Structure 1
């Protein structure tokens, strides 16, 4: 038998502090002694269907109820958990401005960035992929390292983002192996984040990784994080490419060559989409420490990169 808090007892009046929706929901569930499975069954009695993963995401702040059927589920949860009517609903605040930001966003489709990307849509639907315009990439810095054989070795990515919506906790990054690579790349979180779910698409050589930020972001909040990609190349590489759905305000790419495998020249290029040819943007200086870099500000091209000759 579950012991519920006295009905209509106002948690705000008790604590003097207004909780966030995830915190209030978690505390109410913990006080009730129910598991998520038991709460789900209680909802089904009221002919409300909510998946366990959705309830878990609501508790952790990864997603929030917005659709009418989800909001009805919240009102039933309030009743089942003995909370004041409308209490959880009041903590949700205004709805995410998906439509407004989608109309203003210049985000490219995955199909514009990658050949064969339409096959990724079912996989992206399984991850908490931000909608167009939900995140602004203020800064992205990549250091790409090659080994002594000229093969892709690892890439370290540092990013600073700003949320344009409430309740954003994740972003999704895509990396693609070359056809000659021995395996798909692997991603490891370094700082300011953790690795969430991953999905792979072997025919297209894609790895999709969910990056869990260190907290739930509200509108205007920023987050800094870094992660590392390990490559499994079997042949000398000749380029590094960054494809961006929404271009970073500032993007820095540095390619670092091994002292025993230094190219004869490096050039930077741009592409408007994967369906259009590259545009050469000139030669890059190869420094004394065997690296070359490009820097962009508010770049309009969806694809930028460095290629080199041995």
Structure 2
């Protein structure tokens, strides 16, 4: 059988095409291959430049499992451009493009909270908020509303899968109904908080939770946690923001039996400020909670709103 040699310029041409058209993971992988540097040597170069990145994270970047999002990660990509000998900002600019269909690339927090939201700087200060190590597979949450229309507590049960080790954590954020009195994390099960930040004026609480045991990549775990609302102000909506796709999401809203809303609707948004989509009426009954259930949930915002008589 005749053997055909690959023209020596072919790898360079492939890399040039990937740098022009993306995706980021393919361009990075081809650049690493061309350089002849292993991930351990790249990690050493990055550490020497003051932007340490683990070999696991580098592997996930080049395979497309995750993408650099945090400011520190973007600085590491800029150093990689120099180390790998590709044009300045050629990899950075690919990150501004959406990933290919079916890719697990997350959306940016700015899309979900708005570009000038006060929560963003604090959110980005959590490594686990941007460099995902636990992916949510299933999310069940139960919101309780008292007879005055005030939100009282939120109970959440998540099934997560580890996609990176050894550091595995999940950051959750909850906004209160009015500025000045944010909710409180009051209980956890199968996990524990390692850092909690409270933003009194905008009314946010953010907590970093870690599973009760270390997990190998691919393993699943259950996380349960509960927040208590403290503002005592009636509200008419609740939503959840998703950076990553989730296999299933169940939202229950438990209204007081003798104080049901006049109407209730479920909706979704692709980004904060967008028009509501897939608006559907939710049945109300004193015998069961109002609920919204969805499978194959994509990145964006899903919630329910209601109006009082």
Q: Which TM-score band (shorter chain)?
A: 0.5 to 0.7
Q: Which one of 182, 193, 196 corresponds to residue 194 of structure 2?
A: 196
Rounded to whole Å, the distance in 2 between the matches of 1:152 and 1:251 is 20
Give the structure 2 partner of residue 18 of structure 1: none
Give, in angstroms, the shift of residue 71 of structure 1: 7.9
| 1:252 pairs with one of 250, 253, 256 | 250
Return the match for 2:206 from 208, 215, 233. 208
8 Å contact from structure 2 (residues 166, 214) kept in 1? yes
Which position in structure 2 is the counterpart of 1:95? 56
**Could you tell me whether the CA contact under 8 Å between 1:270 and 1:301 is conserved in 2?**
no
SS in structure 2 opposite 1:212?
strand
Residue matched to 1:83: none
Q: Which residue of 1 aligns with 2:122?
A: 123
Q: 1:298 aligns with which of 279, 296, 301?
A: 296
Deviations 1:112-131 (A, max 9, x none): 11135664454235434154
Q: Tell me the CA shift for residue 248 of structure 1.
A: 1.8
Q: TM-score, normalised by structure 1?
A: 0.65
For the pair shown, which has the larger CA radius of gyration, 1 or 2?
Answer: 1
What TM-score, normalized to structure 2? 0.65
Q: Do 1:116 and 1:204's aligned partners in 2 also have CA atoms closer than 8 Å? A: no
Q: Is the 8 A contact 1:174 1:207 kept in 2?
A: yes
**Partner Cα distance (1:106, 1:70) in 2:** 23
Change (3 A) 1:299 1:305: same
Rounded Cα–Cα distance in structure 1 between residues aligned with 2:117 and 2:235: 26
| Post-superposition CA distance 1:157-200 (Å, at most 9, x none) | 00000011221321111111123x66111013331011111113
Contact 1:158 1:227 in 2 (8 A): yes
Q: 1:175-254 alignment to 2 at 5 Å? A: 175-179=174-178, 183-254=181-252
Alpha-carbon contact 2:138-2:246 (below 8 Å) kept: yes
Q: Which position in structure 2 is the counterpart of 1:278?
A: 276
Cα shift readout 1:239-267 (whole Å, capped 9, x = no counterpart): 11111111321100000001232111111
Residue pair 2:192, 2:211 contacting (<8 A) in 1 also: yes
- Determine the C-alpha separation between the residues in 2 that align with 1:223 and 1:200: 26
Identify the residue that residue 140 of structure 2 maps to in structure 1.
Answer: 141
Match of 2:264 in 1: 266
The 3-state SS of whatever aligns with 2:111 is helix
What stretches of structure 2 of length at least 5 have no aligned partner? 1-41, 49-53, 68-102
- Are the structure 2 counterparts of residues 287 and 247 from structure 1 closer, same or farther at C-alpha, using a change threshold of 3 Å? farther
Sort the Cα spacing of 1:117 and 1:215 in 2 relative to 1 into closer, same or farther, 3 A. Answer: farther
Please name the residue that 1:17 is paired with: none
- 8 A Cα contact 2:173 2:204, kept in partner: yes
Gaps of 5+ in 1: 1-65, 73-92
Deviations 1:205-229 (A, max 9, x none): 2211011211222210111010001
CA distance in 2, matches of 1:159, 1:219: 17
Correspondence list, 1:42-61, <5 A: none
Task: Say if 1:252 and 1:293, in contact at 8 Å, map to a contact too.
Answer: yes
- Alignment RMSD, CA only? 2.5
